[in-house]
Amino acid sequence: MRRHQADHYVKHFTSYEHMVSMLFCVFQRCNSLREVSTGMQAWMNRLTHLGVKSYPKRSTLSDANKRRPAAFFQDLFHELVKLYLRADLPDSRQKNGITQRLYYIDSSTMELFKDIMKGAGPSKTDGRRKGGVKVHMLVNAEHLIPRVVYINEARENDRVFMDKIDAPKGSILVFDKGYAKFSQWQTWTKQGLYWVTRLNKDAFYKVLEDLPIHEKQKAAGVLEDQIILLGRGTNKSTKIIQARRVMYYDPLQDKIFEFVTNHLKFSPRHIADLYKKRWQIEMVFKSIKHNYQLKYFLGNNENAICIQIWSSLIADLLLKVIKRSVKERMWSFSNLFSMIRMHLNTYVDLWAFLKSPENALPKENYIKETQYAILYNTT
């Protein structure tokens, strides 16, 4: 908060109250500033325990979304991720597994109604075009929680995210063909990071060695396993790097895939299986777009858009922490979101409800709730 001066010259609507208001917006799926303001006004008597002194007016929330730095919400999200990962991985033994070291890289674009942030693709016939915001993520395979998130305009290339990736030494990065930057691949290799991706059709390479393929690997679909020199080296930005090329036939899709990696010890079939798991990050993006209201933004400026996205990611992280803590198979993520949204402003013990919904509302609690409501309406 001090780093970004989020409360500099602020007397009433603090950064904490702003965060609570945006989380209310996310959980209640509000489409406008009016819904947030009147919704919090209706439940104000049950929000005071959160330290919110008054509900925000539309103009107050609009000004805060425009002026308070979105970087404050960005840092808050990343600090919460670090806190969660430290609490969930108490010993070093867990970090040695493949799943704990596996990370997926991808991006997803959200279309905007106005050309606030430059969108990708051609303009319409009338010359106008919509804006677009692109969200890049580095997601851990075990938790499916973003470790690094970067937000920019949709028109920018995916490769701008590559130098912002921060992963522990020994991690395995899996990404698609959009992140083809040989110099960055070489940097990751020097940093002790492994990477797996698909080889572009027009990629130039020279075969150095054909590696032997076991009969079981051939039966599983492995066609070639080679050590190659990748790249032409025609200019300073194009590096020539040594890599491993695996050609694999997928009988389900009846298609041949070419993978490239710097990992030399994994079997070629394992390399193909690692890339297949990359679809999980698509499910992360799909879940965020489905569960959170990211079609209608509360402001028509870049800062407000970024704040709403960061708030949605914070809410998503909190829900995943709750789901992992409850450890009840009866709750899917969408059901959990719905239940929390409905009971967000009730006097129900959330943990007791999620563990045993039938016993979470004893008769005496219902009577106390009714008596309180009657007392409140008569005073």
Q: What are the tens digits of pLDDT across the range 272-311?
A: 999 999 999 998 998 888 888 787 888 888 899 999 999 9
Domain count, the chain: 1
What's the pLDDT at 91?
Answer: 43
Res. 379: pLDDT tops 50: no
Taking the model in full, what pTM does it have? 0.83
Residue 227: alpha-carbon gap to chain centroid = 34
| 313-342: average pLDDT | 81
The dihedral formed by the CA atoms of 364, 369, 372 and 374, expressed in degrees to the nearest 10:
-100
44 domain residue, yes or no: no
Give the E-state strand segments of 112-190 in sequence order. Answer: 132-140, 146-153, 172-174
Looking at the chain, the number of H-run helices and the number of E-run strands are: 13, 9
Cα(174)–Cα(266) distance, rounded to whole angstroms? 14
Q: Is residue 327 assigned to a domain? A: no
pLDDT of 123 higher than 60: no
Distances (CA, A) of 308 to 139, 197, 272, 311: 20, 32, 37, 5
Handedness of CA 22, 24, 29, 34 (dihedral sign): negative
Would you say residue 357 lies in a domain? no
| Residue 190: inside a domain | yes
Above 80 in pLDDT, residue 98?
yes
Domain extent at residue 135: 96-285
More confident residue, 3 or 352: 352
The band of 132, judged by pLDDT with boundaries at 50, 70 and 90, is confident
pLDDT at 61: 92
Provide the residue type at 346 as one letter: T
| 368 found inside a domain | no
Position 317 in a domain: no
Residue 194 in any domain: the answer is yes
The rounded distance, in Å, linking the Cα atoms of 115 and 101 is 39
Q: Does 189 map to a domain?
A: yes
